[in-house]
């Protein structure tokens, strides 16, 4: 269960066996079935989540009832709302499994203990957040600069697996376009090919 978890951590910092054993005790495993929610808008986001297996999405719902996807998290990725996690303010996001998933959850007290006991985790989380910031800045600049088609092309280039696992209307939502527009972009591309 913890192989991927350890692997991802050791891509960034090194941990001894004892440290890792301790680390494990700070996390709680949780299985989620497809469509099940783990966090809902209005909840305090009590957990930071590591995805061992499966796929989550986080999204907000606007006053018209339209979804807006903040991010997907595949195996080996983290998900959570840091703001709510740290401040205990209710989150504005929903988080839901798109496939049957296996997760590792850490709550805030355990997270502080972990940072305290193994200081290199301060560095680990700093780097995770940093990478997330870099990716979010790129995506932001993309939304300001690019056409719907360019954004779509960038996405499938960067996350080719995405299309097979995520319903198309959610990809549209992630890109900030309507499902109809995405459908049209895709059919154009297919005609060009042939």
Write down the least CB distance from residue 191 to DNA, Å: 9
The answer to whether the beta carbons of residues 95 and 37 sit under 8 Å apart is yes
Tell me how far apart the alpha carbons of residues 9 and 77 are, in angstroms, rounded to a whole number: 11
- Contact between 4 and 102 under an 8 Å Cβ cutoff? The reply is no
- Our finding on whether 122 is near its own copies (CB under 8 A) is yes
Q: How open is the CA angle 71-74-75, to the nearest 5 degrees? A: 150
Q: Is 186 in the site for DNA (CB under 7 A)?
A: yes
25 binds its own copies (CB under 8 A): no
Which window, 15-23, 45-53, 100-108, 127-135, contacts its own copies (CB under 8 A)? 127-135
CA distance linking residue 13 with residue 84, whole number of Å: 26
CB 97 within 8 A of CB 55: yes
- At 118 the three-state DSSP class reads coil
**Contact pattern from residue 54 through residue 83 relative to its own copies, giving x for each residue in contact according to CB under 8 A and a dash for the rest:** ------x-x-----x-x-----------xx
Least distance to its own copies, CB of residue 15, Å: 16
The residue from 134, 147, 180, 188 that contacts its own copies (CB under 8 A) is 134
Q: How far apart are the first and last CA of the chain?
A: 45
In angstroms, give the least distance from the CB of 142 to DNA: 12
Using CB under 8 A, list all residues that contact its own copies: 60, 62, 68, 70, 82-83, 86, 119, 122-123, 125-126, 129-130, 132-134, 136-137, 139-141, 143-145, 176
């Amino acid at each position: 269960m913890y192989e991927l978890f350890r692997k991802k951590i050791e891509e960034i910092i090194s941990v001894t066996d004892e440290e890792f054993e301790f680390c494990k005790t700070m996390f709680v495993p949780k299985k989620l079935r497809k469509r099940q929610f783990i966090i809902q808008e209005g909840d305090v986001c009590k957990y930071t989540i590591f995805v061992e297996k499966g796929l989550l999405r986080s999204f907000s719902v606007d006053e018209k009832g339209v979804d807006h996807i903040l991010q997907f998290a595949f195996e080996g990725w983290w998900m959570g709302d840091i703001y709510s996690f740290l401040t205990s303010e209710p989150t504005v996001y929903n988080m839901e499994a798109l496939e049957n998933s296996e997760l590792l959850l850490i709550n805030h007290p355990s997270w502080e203990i972990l940072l305290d006991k193994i200081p290199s985790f301060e560095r680990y989380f700093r780097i995770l957040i940093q990478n997330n910031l870099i990716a979010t800045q790129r995506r932001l600049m993309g939304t300001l600069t690019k056409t719907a088609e360019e954004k779509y092309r960038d996405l499938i280039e960067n996350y080719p697996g995405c299309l097979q696992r995520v319903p198309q209307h959610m990809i549209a939502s992630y890109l900030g376009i309507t499902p109809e527009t995405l459908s049209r972009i895709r059919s154009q591309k297919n005609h060009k090919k042939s």
